[in-house]
Amino acid sequence: MADPKFEDRRLAEIYDPLEADRPDLDAYLAIVAESGARRMLDVGCGTGTFACLLAARGVEVIGVDPAEASLEVARGKPFADKVRWIHGDATSLPQLQVGLATMTANVAQVFLTDDDWAATLAGIRTALTPGGRLVFETRDPAFQGWLEWNREQTHTVADLEGVGEVETWCDLISVELPLVSFRGTYVFAADGAVLTSDSTLRFRSLGEIERSLQTAGFTVDEIRDAPDRPGREFVVLASKS
């Protein structure tokens, strides 16, 4: 099940305006160009920002996400008509043959159990052509990024077109490694509505990631740093064995 901020239509509609600056996607665009893939799968595509950027560049994209509200937002974007949108997840894909699969942002960390993670990797592997590549990022637990997830460091007020002022912040709920839970709060000045969205992420060590990929039938090609967040994330590149 998707988090409320992706599944609630009112929150899904403000996701992009609140996350307008996405320098993290530049590295993925470069990797897609580097790979030469012309058909790819975006797992956990959300509101479709990355998928539509690729479609604008002539790449054939399949975007899959379990949150229908986010997909509704995605379908309204420029070049969305060039993307094949699938409501679901990597474990229930139709027959596909893609050269590259991606999981951007926190997608790889929403799979909290070993079984869910293994099933997701298996689904992606099935969708890839022989030698096809998987690229994803995951936060380095050694950095302890959750220490910054508090109201003091995350509080913002944004004036959004057609919405009005929206006040947001994050509160850390619990740290029970490898799981970290937090809550996002959204206050709409227009009507005083207060909406919250609870999330939990799993922080995997680099060794755990590499072992899980090898077990799933992937070869780990390279571990990169996230250029926009050095020292905070692993960017993993693997190939279907």
Summarize pLDDT for 108-128 with one digit per residue, the tens.
Answer: 999 999 999 999 999 999 999
Asked if the model's pLDDT at residue 239 lies above 80, the reply is yes
This prediction's pTM = 0.95
DSSP symbol at 165: E
Given this model, what pLDDT does residue 131 score?
A: 95
Which residues, in sequence order, are CB contacts of 152 under 8 Å at separation 6+?
A: none
Asked if the model's pLDDT at residue 198 lies above 90, the reply is yes
Q: Give the CB-side neighbour count of residue 39, counting CA atoms within 13 A.
A: 9
| Pair of tokens at residue 221 | 């090609």
Q: What is the mean pLDDT of residues 77-93?
A: 97
For the chain, give me the number of helices (H) and strands (E)?
8, 11
DSSP symbol at 54: H
Residue 62 to residue 73: CA distance in whole angstroms:
16
- The percent of residues above 90 in pLDDT, for the chain, comes to 95
Q: What is the average pLDDT score of the chain?
A: 96
- What are the φ and ψ backbone dihedral angles of 208, each rounded to 5 degrees? -65, -40
**Per-residue pLDDT band at 4 (split at 50, 70, 90):** confident
**Per-residue pLDDT band at 107 (split at 50, 70, 90):** very high
Angle subtended at Cα 33 by Cα 30 and Cα 39, rounded to the nearest 5 degrees: 125
Measured torsion, CA atoms of residues 125, 128, 130, 131, in degrees rounded to the nearest 10: -80
Contact assessment for residue 120 and residue 112, using Cβ atoms and an 8 Å cutoff: no
- The percent of residues above 70 in pLDDT, for the chain, comes to 100
**Per-residue pLDDT band at 2 (split at 50, 70, 90):** confident
Residue 56 to residue 232: CA distance in whole angstroms:
30
Given this model, what pLDDT does residue 21 score?
A: 82
Q: What beta strand segments (E) does 189-217 contain?
A: 194-202
**Per-residue pLDDT band at 235 (split at 50, 70, 90):** very high
